[in-house]
Amino acid sequence: MAFSSGEWRPTKRQEIFLSLPWKPPFSIREAMYGGGAGSAKTDVLLLYGICHGWHNNPAFKQVFLRRTFPELRNEVIPRSRQIYSKFGATLNKSDMAWTFMAPGQAGSGYSNAGAMIFLGQCENEDDVHKYDSMEINLFTPDELTSQTEFIYLYIGFTRVRTSDPTLPAIIRAAGMPGGIGHTWTSKRFPKAAPYGTVIRGRGGNLRVYVHATLADNPHIDPGYRQSLEALPEAERQAKLHGNWDSYLGQVFDEFRDRHYPDEPENALHVIPEFQIPDWWPKLVVGDWGFAAMTYIAFVAISPQGRSYIYREMFWTKTKIEEWAPHVKELVDLENPRIIKFCKSAGKETGQEHTIQEQISNALGRPIELSTNSSGSRVAGKQLVHEYLRWKPKHVFLKQKTSVYSEETAMWMLRNRGMKDYKSYIDSFSDPEPESNIPKLQIFDSCQVMIEAIKACSYDKKNIEDIAEFEGDDPIDTLRYLCDTAENYIGTAEDEFKTIQKREQLVAKLNSSQDWTGFYRNMRTLEENKIKPVRLFHRRRLIQ
């Protein structure tokens, strides 16, 4: 930070950012500063309220936000001391709040009672509720791409307001490419509002992006530029030049763990727990590890073909004989159709038994292995995208090239069977729009899987694949899981017809409360599910 003789002078780009209008009728509610490393992003956010003199108003409140407390402790608190102590402010360490003197308070001997600047953190999305009772005049989230869109929108659009016309109700953010929030930040600021362009968002809110890089900061250490020049090309473009296209960002940007008001109700992957019906088929899929994590997901498949991850179990540095009994207890109780683990469990390691054999023996059930063939990682990722997809595919209306014939339909039924008959009927009907999307939902108790999905970014060497990271074992499990569910649904047509009939009987029971009819119909369904095969004609004698 450049203080000379007690003065701080903003760079030209910082001046532009600081001078953005905040008073109605032309109030820019949202603005983002940055793009490249070394552009003095944190400094301008810490000084924003002081430059406007809002710290002289006892009602002024600013929230400076980072993702984690260590970020505040290691970087922000030392910088804030250099600034705010010069203005007579004091830091309350328990509240992490700087309080300024009220007008006329100097020399009174009383504790400061003026404007407040809070140094906050939101490591988890539920942390936003710490600010529920606040009226925030200036919200300054720093390193925006390390935060989630929900955190930004919740605080920025529910807590930022003012009851004093002399104070603002604005958001001034800063960040650079990369991190779990790269995709949504890029879409909201540099992509939607390129530098110098003011756009009008929902509710008429104005938004702008001010691009700045190390080259715009004359106070930066020259050696820092040399360090950035030495980075791999993609990272160099992102950090040195603030190139938002050089970092591809979060892989599963369609993933939703909370519902947003402007999206359809089905745009949700994380849901509250509910009682899984006993007759829904279940799968158990895992990724084995010892030093790495052993992660196991329990999946139920609904009659409509939607997969639900309803339980997760995980261990690190734990032997098979220690964790397997816990899994076996649930496997014996729920009788899953398939148990599948990663292909690496089948490798010969010179031991008497492979990991596959050890797990199988411990569970008392044979286990299948995933097919890690060439390209399977990328193909698996694409399948996960399909299972997370909540936007319906475009429906092409059929062009009728012939006229429906009842005679032809009956001939199809008599000579080719029901399947061809239905196919003929369907050829004259437009396809129904998709309703059973997304194909995957996760119980909110499975937080390890949820956080792993949100943490995925693309591999810089293979931009079609997911970069490996510590704790990515649930992602490998997710790929095996979607592939297993897809294959199972495709080969268990008769079973799904049965469970769909069961679902219909339960729905009928809920409306009629006719338990006698329910049990009678269920018994008939069970008796017809497996028909005995007659090996000999009844008139033939068995020798």
Instruction: Write the pLDDT tens digit of every residue in 465-481.
Output: 888 877 889 999 999 99
State the Cα–Cα distance between residues 264 and 521, nearest whole angstrom: 37
Compute the average pLDDT of residues 238-260. 75
DSSP SS3 for 74: helix
Where residue 538 falls among pLDDT bands split at 50, 70, 90? very low
Tokens 């095996």 — which residue?
480
Residues paired with 299 in a beta bridge? 283, 309
Instruction: Write the pLDDT tens digit of every residue in 484-501.
Output: 999 988 877 666 666 667
Q: Which residue from 391, 346, 383 is spatially nearest to 475, judged by alpha carbons? A: 383
State the Cα–Cα distance between residues 541 and 439, nearest whole angstrom: 53
Contact assessment for residue 377 and residue 479, using Cβ atoms and an 8 Å cutoff: yes
Q: Please write down the long-range contacts of 101-106, taking CB distance under 8 Å and 24 or more positions apart.
A: 102/58, 103/56, 103/58
Compute the average pLDDT of residues 206-216. 90
Question: What count of other Cβ atoms lies within 10 Å of the Cβ of residue 355?
Answer: 21
State the Cα–Cα distance between residues 507 and 192, nearest whole angstrom: 47
State the Cα–Cα distance between residues 316 and 294, nearest whole angstrom: 6
State the Cα–Cα distance between residues 473 and 286, nearest whole angstrom: 9
Report the range of poorest mean pLDDT among 94-98, 284-288, 401-405.
401-405
- Scanning 99-163, the segments in alpha helix (DSSP H) are 149-158
Contact assessment for residue 275 and residue 289, using Cβ atoms and an 8 Å cutoff: no
DSSP labels, 368-420: EE----TTHHHHHHHHHHHHH--SPPPPPPPP--S---HHHHHHHHHHT-HHH
> Would you state the structure tokens that stand for residue 325, as one six-digit string?
């009994």
Q: Which residue from 310, 263, 35 is spatially nearest to 149, judged by alpha carbons? A: 263
Angle at 190 between CA 31 and CA 211, to 5 degrees: 70
| Structural domains in the chain plus CATH codes | 28-213 (3.40.50.300), 270-389+436-492 (3.30.420.280)
State the Cα–Cα distance between residues 10 and 44, nearest whole angstrom: 8
pLDDT at 536 over 50: no
Q: What pLDDT score does 144 carry?
A: 93
In this structure, the strands spanning 3-4 and 170-175 are unpaired
Instruction: Write the pLDDT tens digit of every residue in 309-355.
Output: 999 999 999 999 999 999 999 999 999 999 999 988 888 766 778 99
Q: What percent of the chain has pLDDT over 90?
A: 45
Contact assessment for residue 28 and residue 208, using Cβ atoms and an 8 Å cutoff: yes
Q: What pLDDT score does 500 carry?
A: 65
Higher pLDDT, 298 or 266: 298
Where residue 290 falls among pLDDT bands split at 50, 70, 90? confident
Compute the average pLDDT of residues 384-410. 78
Q: What pLDDT score does 469 carry?
A: 75
